[in-house]
Amino acid sequence: MIACGCEVCTSRNEKDKRLRSSILVQSEKTTLVIDTTPDFRTQMLRENVKKLDAVIFTHPHKDHIAGLDDIKAYNFFQHKPMEVYANQLTQEALRREFYYIFSEDKYPGIPNINLHTISDKPFIVGDIPVTPILVYHLKMPVLGFRFGKFTYITDANRIEDIEKEKIKGSEVLVVNALRKKDHISHFNLKQAADLVEELKIPKAYFTHISHQLGLHEDTNQELPSNIQLAWDGLKIDLKGS
Ligand SMILES: [Zn+2]
Ligand SMILES: [Zn+2]
Ligand SMILES: [Zn+2]
């Protein structure tokens, strides 16, 4: 965190250095990202992502959409619009915050996107089937996503039973855990761990971690053996599942 001198923010462990939360999902043919954070450009450069087919948004908060402008590099090299998937609420924010992308009179070099609306139904991006999962961030509806045996949920603190059914059977769950203390719109560490246990998920990683959660290594030791804190650059291979 900017201007903070706490033990996490000054830690030399690379796993205590966290950019804003996002994941990249890749099949043989298709590469997509969930959310374009303010760190999107840094993340794509770090991972040397040369091809990107789509962006899928979870919700309209700035830490999940701010990097959208930087998809213009993919427009330039791929010679086509970026396929962007979002619910209505997020689309309203995109139109407001990136008004120039949607203007009639476009100046050269601005991002070019093809907007798709996510409903409550599964959809396919390239060769990747995607199941949206509705979760709540205080009162804001947020989309989690399931890809085969993998589910990603961020910025939630409540999930209705009917949506929990869509997560069950996942081999790997990535879910948000902000800190140990309660928070108004994020699961805390215990709530996230309880969810993993309730849904009987064999392997889980926590994401969207605040510096208030404590050091990566210390927190990991407090967690059950099937749960770890995620870290920037973590790769999960689910080929064949
Ligand atoms: Zn700090
Ligand atoms: Zn949020
Ligand atoms: Zn967030």
Paired residues of 115 in beta bridges: 84
pLDDT at 241: 56
Closest ligand, as measured to the CA of 210: 1
pLDDT at 125: 98
Closest ligand, as measured to the CA of 93: 2
Q: Is the pTM of this model over 0.85?
A: yes
CA of 62 to the centre of ligand 3 (A): 8
pLDDT at 205: 98
CA of 43 to the centre of ligand 3 (A): 16
Per-residue pLDDT of the chain (241 residues; tens, 9 = 90+): 999 999 999 999 999 999 999 999 999 999 999 999 999 999 999 999 999 999 999 999 999 999 999 999 999 999 999 999 999 999 999 999 999 999 988 888 999 999 999 999 999 999 999 999 999 999 999 999 999 999 999 999 999 999 999 999 999 999 999 999 999 999 999 999 999 999 999 999 999 999 999 999 999 999 999 999 999 999 999 986 5
The residues placing their C-beta within 5 Å of ligand 2, an ion, are 61, 155
pLDDT at 106: 83
CA of 23 to the centre of ligand 1 (A): 23
pLDDT at 108: 86
pLDDT at 239: 80
pLDDT at 107: 85
